[in-house]
């Protein structure tokens, strides 16, 4: 006759998560030890110095911004008003297919932006883009898009 034990019989099982932790620790330890034992030895060599050539690439894009008080910037560099037309002419001579992006500051006068546009067109530049932002709704914080339009009135 066979009697069963009052103590429940549990099967042995291998926990894999602590095993993975130990393996990562061993891997990191071996990597650190192997890196600390490597001594970089080399021969000193006098290499020639690189000669920096002047950039020959043609500029294909310029950003013009009209600020408050008719201050004009070309790629974030302020340009006096009497130098705008010569600068545009120079850019057009260097690259006839140059692209121009015109933007106006929030407090810039509309006429100042249009005068810059006229100068761009008079030089012969035809690829002109405009950077525009939607006006904020009254009472809304600046930089937020305006809210949805009001619902139509019911008859």
Which sequence spans correspond to the domains of the chain?
79-99+110-123
- Looking at every residue in the chain, the average pLDDT score rounds to 81
Q: Residue 20's pLDDT is what?
A: 92
Mean pLDDT in residue range 42-54: 78
The DSSP bridge pattern shows strands 71-74 and 77-79 to be antiparallel
* Band (4; pLDDT cuts 50, 70, 90): confident
Per the CB < 8 A criterion, the answer to whether 73 and 100 are in contact is no
Q: Residue 152's pLDDT is what?
A: 66
Phi-psi domain of 139 (left: phi exceeds 0; alpha: psi -120 through 50; beta: other) = left
* Band (122; pLDDT cuts 50, 70, 90): very high
* Band (99; pLDDT cuts 50, 70, 90): very high
Question: Both tokens of residue 59?
Answer: 């500029």
């Amino acid at each position: 006759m066979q009697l069963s034990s009052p103590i429940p019989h549990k099967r042995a099982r291998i926990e894999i998560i602590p095993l993975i932790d130990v393996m990562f620790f061993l891997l990191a330890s071996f990597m650190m030890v192997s890196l600390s034992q490597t001594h970089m030895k080399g021969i000193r060599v006098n290499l020639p110095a690189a000669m920096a050539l002047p950039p020959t690439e043609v500029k294909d894009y310029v950003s013009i911004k009209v600020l408050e008080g008719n201050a004009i910037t070309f790629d974030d560099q302020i340009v006096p008003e009497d130098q705008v037309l010569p600068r545009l002419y120079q850019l057009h001579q260097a690259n006839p297919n140059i692209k121009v992006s015109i933007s106006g500051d929030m407090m810039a006068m509309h006429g100042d932006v249009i005068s810059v546009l006229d100068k761009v067109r008079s030089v012969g530049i035809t690829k002109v883009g405009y950077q525009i932002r939607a006006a904020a709704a009254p009472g809304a914080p600046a930089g937020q898009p305006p809210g949805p339009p009001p619902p139509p009135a019911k008859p």
